[in-house]
Structure 1
Amino acid sequence: MALTVNIGSRRVQVTAQPLAPDAFAPFGAVIANPRPDVHPSAFAAASLPSNAVSANQGSAIQYRAVSRARNLYGQAPSGSADPVTSVFVCAARELSPADGGDRFTVRVLERHPFTTQTFAPLASSASTYLVVVAPSLAPSAADAHLPVPRGLGLPGSGLPDLRGLRAFVATGVQAVTYGAGTWHAPMVVLGEAGATLDFVVSQWASGVGEEDCQLVEFESEGVAEPRVEVRIPKVARLGRL
C-alpha cells in the first residue's frame, strides 16, 4: 500500500539532463561502453579506463565492475531473497507540452530498500527513457513502520526529499542501476504513442510486498495532479540506438 504525501501549494520543477555517470553516481550507476570508438583489436594502442582488460583471445574488451549488485535481505523480516531476472515491456508515456519541450508529472516514487535494481534496455521501437530520482529525507514517523536495512552505510528510513529531485534522459545504449533504497520513478519511456521499450531487469526479491517495493504517492492542494514536474527539452530526446 502506497503512502500519500501532500506537498501543499509547493511546486517542484526540474529540467532533465542527459544521463551521465558522475551526475547519477549519488543514486546508483550508469552502465555503458565508455569508449565505443575503440575496437577490441586496437586495445593495446588505446588509452582506456583502468578497469579495461583484453578478453576472449583479443576479440573483446571487458570493463570490470561497472555496477555492483547489492543484497541486503539478510536484514529484512523474511531474512532471505532470490536473484530475479525479468523483462519489462514499457509503453511510451503521455506527456504534456511545455516551452521548448515536454513535461512529465511525477505522481509516484518507489524504492527497493533491500536490493539494487538494474534496467538494461533492449532494441525496441522507442530508444530513450527518463530516469527520475530523489534522495531521502531524515527518518520520520511517516515511514517508520516500513522495513528497511539499518546501520552505517545502509539506506535506512526517510521519505523522498523533493528538494533534491533529479531527472535524466537515457538512451538505448545506457543501462542504469538504482542503488538499494534509492527513490525513483517507475520507468518512463519517451517516444511516440504506441511505442515501447523493453528492459531486462535484475534484482533480488523475497516476494514480500513491503520488503520488495515501497511506494509514495504525491498530491497537491486544490488541483487534481501533484505539482511535481520534469521538463524534458526537445534536444535531450534526440538520442537513438
Structure 2
Amino acid sequence: MKSLQMERLTRAAFAPFGDVIELDGARHFPINGATTERYHDLAHVDVIEQGGRPLVNLFRAQPRALPVEITMMERHPLGSQAFIPLRAGRYLVVVAPAGEFDPARMRAFWTDAWQGVNYAKGVWHHPLLALDQLSDFIVVDRGGDAPNCDELQLAEPWRLAFEPSVELIG
C-alpha cells in the first residue's frame, strides 16, 4: 500500500487547491457600532457556471478511525465547495490538482481547530474525514440542474502517514 505524508494545513500550502478559511491573517474590521468584528471575504465562492446558484448546507460527518485509507476521490467540475466546521474538531483533508487525476500529485493535510477549506472548482478531494467525534460543517457549494460530482476509485489504496511529532494518533 502506498503512503501519503500528512502536512499541516496552511494558506500557502493549500493555495493550489483553494482557500483556507480561518481568522488568523484575515482582513477584518468592526461593524454594527463596533459591537461585531467582521472577517471579510474568507473564500472565493465560484458556483455560477451553467446557471448554478449557491447552496448553504449542513453536513454531519461520522468520525473515522485511524489509520485512514484513501480509496476514492471526487471533484465538482462546475463549482467550488467550502467546508466550515461548526465547532473545533480535528479533521483531515486529501486533495489533488484539478484536471486529469494524478495520484502522484495528491496531498494530505491535518487541520487546526477552526480552520475550514474551500476546494476550488475541479479540485479532486476526498469526502469529509472527521476524527474523534460526530462533526457538523456548514457547506457552501453549487446547486443547479447540470451534474456536478465526478467520483473515481483509486487503482490501489493509499494510507495516510503522520510525522511522529503530530499528535493525531490516539
Please classify the TM superposition score into its range, dividing by the shorter chain length.
0.7 to 0.9
User: CA-to-partner distance for each residue in 1:133-186, whole Å, 9 max, x for gaps?
Assistant: 0114xxxxxxxxxxxxxxxxxxxxx33222221111113311110001000001
Unaligned runs of 5+ in 2: none
How many pairs are equivalent? Answer: 168
- Contact 2:87/2:114 (CA < 8 Å) preserved in 1? no
Q: Determine the C-alpha separation between the residues in 2 that align with 1:72 and 1:84.
A: 11
CA drift at 1:68? 1.2
From 67, 78, 83, the counterpart of 1:114: 78
For the structure 1 residues 181 and 237, does the alpha-carbon distance in structure 2 shift closer, same or farther, using more than 3 Å as the test?
Answer: farther
Describe how 1:105-184 pairs up with structure 2 within 5 A.
105-123=69-87, 127-136=89-98, 158-184=99-125
For residue 100 of structure 2, what is the amino acid of its counterpart?
A: L
CA drift at 1:123? 2.6
- Contact 2:59/2:139 (CA < 8 Å) preserved in 1? yes
Residue 197, structure 1, aligned to residue 135, structure 2? yes
From 122, 137, 150, the counterpart of 1:214: 150
TM-score normalised by structure 2 residue count: 0.87
TM-score normalised by structure 1 residue count: 0.63
Q: Determine the C-alpha separation between the residues in 2 that align with 1:237 and 1:207.
A: 43
| RMSD, matched Cα | 2.1
From 16, 19, 24, the counterpart of 1:34: 24
For the structure 1 residues 234 and 121, does the alpha-carbon distance in structure 2 shift closer, same or farther, using more than 3 Å as the test?
Answer: farther
- Contact 1:128/1:237 (CA < 8 Å) preserved in 2? no
CA drift at 1:129? 0.3
CA drift at 1:234? 6.1
Identity of aligned residues (%): 29
